[in-house]
């Protein structure tokens, strides 16, 4: 009689400590350039910037140059649609500041976990978050970035498990 024996590797729990992925892990893989628009620009200019960069969101910066890299809001494709739906063709002449809620900027830092950022996005019904470290804008993460990172981790983890 033959018996199939499987060799089972046992690892101490301390060796299996899993490190949560952080926003900084995503930013290291992305281009350092952050697309921005000033509050006093028009919807038309913002839409042209998004089209030229093939992106769907811009970080809105205050027009005060002394403030440095200060993000005050996000301007997205949805804002363009809202401007045109509410104001017709004249919507493209509105200022970005007329559509962005400046007092409600939701952001994250490079040390936040992807799980936390995903929760922030779901809770606030948003798809893009500016990343701010030490009061300075360093990047933007999207729900697509987070989803891709989780997918990569899952497939990487599956490959590691099958290789062991």
Using only the alpha carbons of the chain, give its radius of gyration: 21
Phi and psi angles of residue 131, each rounded to the nearest 5 degrees, phi first: -105, 120
Across the range 37-63, mean pLDDT stands at: 94
Q: Tell me the average pLDDT across 127-143.
A: 93
Q: Can you list the domains of the chain with their CATH numbers?
A: 21-159 (3.10.580.10)
- Token pair of 139 as six digits: 């990047």
Q: Which residues, at least 6 apart from 33, have a Cβ–Cβ distance to it below 8 Å?
A: none
Taking alpha carbons only, the member of 123, 122, 142, 116 closest to residue 29 is 142
Output 71 or 10, whichever has higher pLDDT.
Answer: 71
pTM of the model: 0.78
C-beta of residue 99 within 8 angstroms of C-beta of residue 82:
yes
């Amino acid at each position: 009689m033959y018996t199939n024996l499987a060799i089972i590797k046992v690892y101490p729990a301390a060796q299996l400590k899993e490190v949560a992925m952080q926003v900084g892990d995503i930013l290291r893989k992305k281009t350092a350039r952050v697309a921005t628009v000033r509050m006093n620009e028009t919807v038309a200019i913002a839409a042209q910037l998004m089209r030229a960069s093939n992106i769907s969101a811009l970080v809105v910066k205050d027009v005060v140059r002394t403030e440095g890299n200060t993000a005050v809001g996000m301007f997205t494709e949805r804002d363009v649609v809202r401007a045109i739906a509410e104001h017709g063709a004249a919507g493209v002449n509105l200022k970005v500041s007329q559509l962005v809620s400046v007092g409600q900027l939701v952001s994250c830092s490079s040390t936040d976990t992807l799980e936390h950022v995903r929760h922030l996005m779901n809770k606030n019904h948003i798809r893009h978050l500016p990343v701010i470290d030490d009061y300075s804008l360093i990047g933007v993460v999207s729900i697509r970035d987070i989803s891709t990172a989780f997918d990569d981790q899952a497939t990487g983890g599956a490959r590691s498990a099958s290789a062991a």
